[in-house]
Amino acid sequence: MTLNMDSNTTDKIELDSVKCILSTTDLKGNIKYSNRYFSEVSGYSKEELHGSPHSIIRHPDMPKVMFKLMWDRLKKNENIIVIVKNKAKDGRYYWVKTFFETKYHPITKEPYGYLSIRHAAPKKAIREVEPLYKRLRSIEARQGLDASQDYLIRYLMKEGKTYDEYLNEITEEKNIIIDFFKKQIH
Ligand X SMILES: Cc1cc2nc3c(=O)[nH]c(=O)nc-3n(C[C@H](O)[C@H](O)[C@H](O)COP(=O)(O)O)c2cc1C
Binding site for ligand X (CB under 6 A): 23, 25, 29, 53-55, 57-58, 62, 67, 84, 86, 98, 100, 114, 116
Query: What sign results for the dihedral spanned by CA atoms 141, 84, 169, 130?
Result: positive
Task: Pick between residue 99 and residue 151 the one whose CB is nearest to ligand X.
Answer: 99
Kindly state the smallest distance separating residue 173's Cβ from ligand X, in Å: 19
Kindly state the smallest distance separating residue 180's Cβ from ligand X, in Å: 18
Task: Pick between residue 43 and residue 161 the one whose CB is nearest to ligand X.
Answer: 43
Task: Pick between residue 98 and residue 148 the one whose CB is nearest to ligand X.
Answer: 98
Kindly state the smallest distance separating residue 68's Cβ from ligand X, in Å: 9
Kindly state the smallest distance separating residue 98's Cβ from ligand X, in Å: 6
Distance of CA 140 to the CA centre of its chain: 19
Task: Pick between residue 58 and residue 161 the one whose CB is nearest to ligand X.
Answer: 58
What Rg value do the Cα atoms of the chain yield, rounded? Answer: 17
DSSP secondary structure, 154-186, as one string: HHHHHHT--HHHHHHHHH----HHHHHHHHHH-
Task: Pick between residue 50 and residue 58 the one whose CB is nearest to ligand X.
Answer: 58
35 close to 21: Cβ distance less than 8 angstroms: yes
Query: What sign results for the dihedral spanned by CA atoms 118, 121, 122, 125?
Result: positive
Cα–Cα distances in angstroms (integers) from residue 134 to residues 69, 86, 96, 137, 140, in the given order: 17, 15, 17, 5, 10
Kindly state the smallest distance separating residue 4's Cβ from ligand X, in Å: 29
